Amino acid sequence: MEELVALCKRRGFIFQSNEIYGGLQGLYDYGPLGVELKNNLKQAWWREMVFDRDDVEGLDASILTKPNVLKFSGHEDTFSDPMVDCKSCNQRFRADQVPDHCKEDDLTEPRQFNLMFKTAVGPVEDKDSFAYLRPETAQNIFTNFKNVVDSTSRKVPFGIAQIGKAFRNEITPRNFIFRVREFEQMELEFFVVPGTDDEWHKAWVDARLKWWDEQGVSDENIELYHVPKDELAHYSKATVDIMYKFPHGLEELEGIANRTDFDLGSHSKNQSELNIQAAVMENNESNARLATQNLETKEWCVPYVIEPSAGVDRGVLAVLNEAYKVEDLEDGKTRTVLNLKPHLSPIKAAVIPLKKNHDGLVEIASNIKKNLQQLRLGRILLENSGNIGKSYRRHDEIGTPLCITVDFDSLEDNSVTVRDRDSMKQTRIEISKLSKYLEDLILN
C-alpha cells in the first residue's frame, strides 16, 4: 500500500485533499492521471451497463436530498455505526475497528452515530431547512422510477444506472481511498418481476465478476461472500459481496443485493393497494405510486430490484493494485510498471521526438499526436523531453501502453519506433499505420 500511495502522489494520480492546510481526513483529490484513470473506469462501466445492453437507462440525479427520501428509505433510523471513545487517546472509533493500542478499560460503551452529512438549504437555517448529502446514489433512482418509466415506456425487467458522488461521515476513514468520506458509486437498480429475482440476482453476480476481470481485476484475488441472514441490511433478501484482496486485506469491492420491493414500496403512496411484500414504513408524504399496473387485470405490482453497487474509488485501488509490478530486468536493474488494461490507461500513447526542440522531429511528432488524438480513444501526450530512457521509465510507471519515438530516420522513411510497455519490444511502424495499430490495442 505504501508503494502505491507514493507512486500515486509522485506521478499525479491521487493527492491528499486540502493538503496545504494540513489535509482533511478521509478526502482525496484525483490528479492529472488519476482523473483519466477514474473516468476510464466509469466509462467502461457505463458502456457495459447502459450502451451494450438493451434494458438499461441512465440517470444523473441531485446530491442534495430531501430528508423524507432518507426517512422512508430507512437511512435516518438505521444508517449508523456503533462507536466508542477511547478515554486515553481521546479518539473515536467504530466499535469493530478499535486499534490494538487502546485498552478495553479505556473505552466508553458503544453509541450509535449517524453517518449522513447534513447541510442547510436556503437562507434560513432551521430544523426544517436542512437537506442531506446523499449517502448512496440508489435512493434517487427509486424516487425517479415513475419519471423514467413514463418517459421511456420501459417494462420490467429493466434497469436504471447512475454514477455519482456519495457521502458518509465514516468514523474511521482509512486505507487510502478504500474508506473515505466522499466517494463515487456506480450503481444499477435492476427492476424485475417478483419470483424471477433469485435468477436475476445470480445472473448479475456472474456479469459483475466478468466485468471486473475485464478491468484486470483477476478472479484469483476475488472471493464471493454470501452475507449470512443475520448480517443482512434491513432491505435485503440476499446479498453477495464481491470481496477483493486489497493491499490491507480482503474487503468489499462491490455488493450485489436483492432489495425486494422494499424501496419502491417504501416511497409509494397508497401502499395498501400495492400488495407490497417487504415491511415498509407507512408513507403519507409521497405523491407517486412506484409500481406497474397489469392493464388487463388492473392489478398493481411493485417490482423487485437487484442492485449491483460498486465503489469507483475502491475500483481504482483494486485496478492499481493489480497493475503495479516491480520487474527484474536482464541488466540487473528493476523497473516499475503499471500493466493497466489499455482502455484504462490515463495516457494511451506518448509521442517522443528523439531530440528535444528539433524542428523537423517535433513537427512530425506533433502531427502524429494530433492525428491519434482525433481517434477519440483518450489522451495522447507529446513528450518533448529529449530523454528517451527517462520517458520510457515514466510511461512504464504510469501505465502508458505505447511510446512512439520519432528519430532522424523518420525524416527519411516516414516510420517511427513503437515500444510496447509490457514486452518492452520495439517495432518499426509506418506513420500511416499508427492509427490502426493504436485502435486495435485500445479497443481490443
Alpha-carbon span 26 to 185, nearest angstrom: 16
Question: What 3-state DSSP class applies to 413?
Answer: helix
Contact of 242 with 252, CB cutoff 8 Å: yes
Is residue 265 involved in binding ligand ATP (CB under 6 A)?
no
Alpha carbon of residue 416 to chain centroid? 37
Binding piece for ligand ATP, criterion CB under 6 A, among 28-36, 203-211, 275-283, 307-315: 307-315
Binding piece for ligand ATP, criterion CB under 6 A, among 55-63, 306-314, 370-378, 399-407: 306-314
Contact of 423 with 392, CB cutoff 8 Å: no
DSSP conformation class of 240? E
Is residue 320 involved in binding ligand ATP (CB under 6 A)?
no
Is residue 189 involved in binding ligand ATP (CB under 6 A)?
no
Among 34, 164, 265, 311, binds ligand ATP (CB under 6 A): 311
Is residue 201 involved in binding ligand ATP (CB under 6 A)?
no
Selection from 185, 214, 216, 204 nearest residue 242 by Cα: 204
Among 11, 146, 179, 369, binds ligand ATP (CB under 6 A): 179
Q: What cell was used for 4?
A: 502505491
Burial of 375 (0-12, 13-18, 19+ CB in 10 A): middle
User: Least distance in Å: CB of 254 to ligand ATP?
Assistant: 5
Q: Is the Cβ of residue 106 or residue 252 nearer to ligand ATP in the bound state?
A: 252
Q: Is the Cβ of residue 186 or residue 381 nearer to ligand ATP in the bound state?
A: 186
Name the one residue in this structure whose C-alpha cell is 481490443: 444
Question: What 3-state DSSP class applies to 391?
Answer: helix
Binding piece for ligand ATP, criterion CB under 6 A, among 68-76, 156-164, 195-203, 311-319: 311-319
Give the 3-state secondary structure percentages of the chain, helix then strand then coil, rounded to 5. Answer: 35, 30, 40
Among 57, 261, 313, 383, binds ligand ATP (CB under 6 A): 313
Applying CB under 6 A, the site for ligand ATP has a residue count of 16
User: Least distance in Å: CB of 20 to ligand ATP?
Assistant: 23
Residues 129-148 that bind ligand ATP (CB under 6 A): 136
Cα radius of gyration rounded to whole Å, the chain: 25
Is residue 263 involved in binding ligand ATP (CB under 6 A)?
no
Q: What cell was used for 126?
A: 432551521
Contact of 97 with 172, CB cutoff 8 Å: yes
Is residue 309 involved in binding ligand ATP (CB under 6 A)?
yes
User: Least distance in Å: CB of 264 to ligand ATP?
Assistant: 19
Is residue 259 involved in binding ligand ATP (CB under 6 A)?
no
Element (H, E) at 395: helix 388-398
Contact of 89 with 102, CB cutoff 8 Å: yes
Is residue 8 involved in binding ligand ATP (CB under 6 A)?
no
Is residue 168 involved in binding ligand ATP (CB under 6 A)?
yes
Site of interaction with ligand ATP (CB under 6 A) = 136, 168, 170, 179-180, 183, 185, 252-255, 309-311, 313-314
